[in-house]
Structure 1
Amino acid sequence: MYTSTRNAQLQLNSKEALTQGFATDGGLFVLPTLPKVDLDQMLATNYQGQAKIVLSALLPDFEAEVIDQVVTEAYGKQWDDARITPLQKLNDQYILELFHGPTSAFKDIGLQVLPRLLHNAIDAQTKVLILAATSGDTGKAALEGFKDVPQTGIATFYPDGGVSPIQEKQMRTTGGENTHVAAIKGNFDDAQTAVKQMLNNAELAAKLGSVKLSVANSINIGRLAPQVVYYFNAYQQLVQAGAIQTGDEINFTVPTGNFGDVLAGYYAKLMGLPVNKLIVATNANSEVADFLNTGIYDRNRDFIKTVSPSMDIQISSNLERLLFYKSGGDSALVAKLMQDLAETGRYQVSAELLDAIQQDFVAGSASDDDVRDAIASVDSKVDYVMDPHTANGYVVQHQLNVPGVTVLLSTASPFKFPQVVAEAVLKARFESGFDAMAALREQRHLTIPAPLAQLQQLPERFDTVLNPEAMPEWVAQLAKEM
């Protein structure tokens, strides 16, 4: 049974936890003990087989035939590489490409699964309105995943002026009868906080009638669980390439914003994957890296807009799940720390708890100049173009130089941030992201992912801009239309 990070007495089955998305006490749903999977069995099957094993272990209330159908549909022809998450070797560097799905970002891995699971978890009379706060990539992936899924609607909120032009264009051109998009006056944290508040807003719930709210962010266990799979798959690809032997420990470097991507790696370790260190990379919004190094989480600092906007986050929600596991399931402690964060903007953990966290995690941060230099350097050395978020990981990985085989997770196509990439690689500035994409294609002979190549011609459907306090009334109106 799932419980809340802030109340160990709460119990829900996995279908209920996935449908509800977020605990009524403000906590996140967790399994007190994560199940082990058979490593040999994981290494003997393909990506889809690995996904079935992991999802069955973490979401045991879903019938086997449902898991089979969901995985088959989620990881099919909408991926431009049959391996789903191919591993690239660049000299002595391994990069796991997580951006081969329909929106060219790693969020597709979870958001091709979550809508299908949710549809199977609800009864025929239930309608669910999905809310998604996004710093750039979750929004489009959620919109694409939930587009025209029966009995659901999807509303995505992004910071106005806080995502790349390509990311914004992706969201504002989304098709589907049940999709909705609004820019928020503020940053990602403002949007995410407002979404969390709406999920536990009694006045709003009364207005919604029979429509339930849920979430598409990685605070939903149905979004997080599928991300565990690619850690096992990367390990399998290393074994198959002869880079490691089964049982060898490896490291993963993960660009981090909301801490979901790297938390999935920790889940993989708890479930039996031989992982040495998880290397956490942040940009100039370094609250998470500073916490992992000092034990003090402090968001009382300026919010910085960077060239890696999907990581421009000051409150990393999934860190709460790590605190739960590393404290031995001490939900009272987690509740107190989260209360401190809400009231004062900071909290501090004990030396013992910090030591437990540092057994598995190391961290660093990268500046925008570091990121640009890394993109240019890797391109010139090995003829490979990284997006800015992956470049954050590259910088921190080389800063910390953790011994052993290390896999860098590449979280998005460089074509989602073409102006930054073109400036680094081509030493030229472009006013338009589409002009930058064309220049990268022509001068570097790169293939633009098909959905991005078609993007410029699509009409924009959404132009709503809201203050955060106006979000509940807007959501109530969407629910009436359902």
Structure 2
Amino acid sequence: MKTFYHSTRNGGEPLTSKQAILRGIAPDGGLYVSDQLGEETLDMAAMVNQDYHETAQKVLATLIPDYSTEEIGSCVRDAYAENFDTPAVVPLTPLGSDWLLELSHGPTCAFKDVALQLLPHLMSVARGKSEHRIMIVTATSGDTGKAALAGFADVEGTGVTVFYPEGKVSEIQHLQMTTQLGRNVAVCGVEGTFDDCQTQVKRIFADTALSERLHGRGVALSSANSINVGRLVPQVVYYVDAYAQLVRSGAISVGDAVDFCVPTGNFGDVLAGYYAKRLGLPVGRLIVASNTNKVLTDFLKTGSYDRRRDFVKTISPSMDILVSSNFERMLYYLTDGDSERVGAWMAELATQGVYSIGDELLGRLRETFYGEFATDDETRRTIRTTWEEEHILIDPHTAVAKTILDRHEHNGRMRVCLSTANPYKFPADVLAALGHDTQGKDDFACMDELQRLTGIAAPRQLSTLRGAPVMHDSICAKEAMASFVESATARIFR
């Protein structure tokens, strides 16, 4: 079967998945989607007896079939063979009467590793013997940045530039990025929010004059955000693998529906669950868990997406987002591929800050998705009760999702809570949630205290950040991001 990708905002210019992954985002600002999604489905009975590597190969072969079997196999081996601290890659463990899908066993202790350890290999294969170099330009709310830096550092023919909102990530997240080694990396804090960073990155991709200047240097731009289909597709795998783990544990039988509760801000992580459902995974409900920046919760209640609200800095900073870029893909599938309508909504969002989809489409969306939000106080209580009652330590993002699960009785289906980060990425907030004073303590002092209290060791890749030399101290206004990319490109590709 031939699978082609095109922009959510027009149906023209079909691309192979390799071309779409290299480009990252469409020239018109849309995201790449395939109209063939769901035409080929997975044999779930066969998937149950596969390990993570085998499942990844099957899912990837279904969604990006212009990669050969050998190419996919090589990419999967290189991404997962040595880079995760468990052979399971994403183990599923009991969480009271629910289940916890642990997605933070990779090199940067966040779920982004699952995709960003694979994406560089997919890009290298797609690039082939091309003489053009690739500059990855990525905005991060905290976790994507380090995962992209770790994945692309010193990859031949590739550079990576990461922008993060200055002062709006945790101390550990900040150090993970600013201490990154590699001759081909650039990191810059931005005076603004993640949405400011993301908006400017999209403008950079749409800047034809900049693209022409970079093309003259033999450099093309691409993205490692979940706006890149190569970031999204690998995340589909862990939904399928989680289901297989449930079957093998005896918790469910093949064919039983499962609910997934997903802490998300940019909608990519939960959208991957929707892709899995389109591939035949028996998904009951996808629960969209938000923090106080609850634009998605409000949308799923009203059908109106309204970013005209105050930005709130929370203890779950990776979800502090008001413009959920990946939702554009969901709108495309919700409207059965009406790219004109999707483009009009995105234009309204950009110019007016709001758009509405109407009751009929909202009803269809609610057949799969449900949204709620949790406050910081609720999130802290959940961290504390989960430790006291289950002896499980969770981070503030995972706690948002568990807070929402705990509000509801089981509806007869098994429920999986996605755990998106290691709690030691946010040691001060986790320690405070457990009822201990953090005043005057930096993240490492809190890390030490948290280890003493819980007996759980901090991951080495986080504890060794203490005293690591800062390699990147640039800060710029959002209007200067394009200039930073150009100067970084000149330095990296001399």
- In the superposition, the TM-score normalised over structure 1's length comes to 0.99
Deviations, residues 408-445 of structure 1 (Å, cap 9, x unaligned): 00000000000000011242215210111111111110
Determine the structure 2 residue equivalent to 1:356.
364
Q: Is the 8 A contact 1:5 1:334 kept in 2?
A: yes
Q: Indicate the SS of the match to 1:177.
A: coil
Determine the structure 1 residue equivalent to 2:406.
398
Q: For 1:353 and 1:183, how far apart are their aligned partners in 2?
A: 39
Determine the structure 2 residue equivalent to 1:341.
349
Q: Indicate the SS of the match to 2:260.
A: strand
Q: Please state if 1:416 is matched with 2:414.
A: no
Q: 1:90 deviation in Å?
A: 2.6
Choose the corresponding residue for 2:319, options 311, 318, 322.
311
Q: 1:59 deviation in Å?
A: 1.0
Q: 1:400 deviation in Å?
A: 4.3
Q: 1:10 deviation in Å?
A: 2.9
- Matches of residues 319-330 of structure 1 in structure 2 within 5 Å? 319-330=327-338
Q: For 1:327 and 1:427, how far apart are their aligned partners in 2?
A: 49
Determine the structure 1 residue equivalent to 2:45.
40
Deviations, residues 129-150 of structure 1 (Å, cap 9, x unaligned): 0011000000000000001000
Determine the structure 2 residue equivalent to 1:373.
381
Q: Is the 8 A contact 1:3 1:11 kept in 2?
A: yes
Q: For 2:95 and 2:319, how far apart are their aligned partners in 1?
A: 25
Letter in 2 for 1:170: Q
Q: For 1:197 and 1:400, how far apart are their aligned partners in 2?
A: 41
Q: Indicate the SS of the match to 1:456.
A: coil
Q: For 1:81 and 1:272, how far apart are their aligned partners in 2?
A: 27
Deviations, residues 367-418 of structure 1 (Å, cap 9, x unaligned): 0000001000111101111100000001112234461210000000000000
Aligned-pair identity (%): 46
Q: Indicate the SS of the match to 1:253.
A: strand
- Matches of residues 214-363 of structure 1 in structure 2 within 5 Å? 214-363=222-371
Q: 5+ unaligned residues in a row in structure 2: which ranges?
A: none
Letter in 2 for 1:477: S
Letter in 2 for 1:204: L
Choose the corresponding residue for 1:142, options 121, 144, 148.
148
- Matches of residues 65-84 of structure 1 in structure 2 within 5 Å? 65-84=70-89
Choose the corresponding residue for 1:13, options 11, 16, 33.
16
Q: Is the 8 A contact 1:4 1:27 kept in 2?
A: yes
Determine the structure 1 residue equivalent to 2:416.
407
Determine the structure 2 residue equivalent to 1:467.
477
Q: 1:351 deviation in Å?
A: 1.0
Deviations, residues 226-271 of structure 1 (Å, cap 9, x unaligned): 0000001111111111110110001000001100000000000000
Q: 1:2 deviation in Å?
A: 0.5
Deviations, residues 170-211 of structure 1 (Å, cap 9, x unaligned): 000011110110000000000000001101101211221221
Q: Indicate the SS of the match to 2:407.
A: helix
Q: For 2:149 and 2:368, how far apart are their aligned partners in 1?
A: 34
Letter in 1 for 2:467: Q
Letter in 2 for 1:100: H
Q: Indicate the SS of the match to 2:150.
A: helix
- Matches of residues 71-110 of structure 1 in structure 2 within 5 Å? 71-110=76-115
Determine the structure 2 residue equivalent to 1:185.
191
Q: 1:37 deviation in Å?
A: 1.7
Q: For 2:93 and 2:33, how far apart are their aligned partners in 1?
A: 33
Q: Is the 8 A contact 1:364 1:400 kept in 2?
A: no
Letter in 2 for 1:422: L
Q: Is the 8 A contact 2:291 2:376 kept in 1?
A: yes
Q: Indicate the SS of the match to 1:213.
A: strand
Letter in 1 for 2:107: P
Aligned residues: 482
Q: Is the 8 A contact 1:415 1:437 kept in 2?
A: yes
Q: For 2:200 and 2:51, how far apart are their aligned partners in 1?
A: 40
Cα RMSD (Å): 1.0
Q: For 2:489 and 2:148, how far apart are their aligned partners in 1?
A: 18
- In the superposition, the TM-score normalised over structure 2's length comes to 0.96
Choose the corresponding residue for 2:202, options 160, 180, 196.
196
Q: Is the 8 A contact 1:307 1:368 kept in 2?
A: yes
Q: For 1:105 and 1:250, how far apart are their aligned partners in 2?
A: 23
Q: For 2:349 and 2:93, how far apart are their aligned partners in 1?
A: 40
Q: Is the 8 A contact 2:383 2:430 kept in 1?
A: yes
Q: Is the 8 A contact 2:48 2:248 kept in 1?
A: no
Q: For 1:100 and 1:9, how far apart are their aligned partners in 2?
A: 40
Determine the structure 2 residue equivalent to 1:429.
438
Q: For 2:409 and 2:165, how far apart are their aligned partners in 1?
A: 34
Q: Is the 8 A contact 1:58 1:225 kept in 2?
A: yes
Q: Is the 8 A contact 1:36 1:270 kept in 2?
A: yes
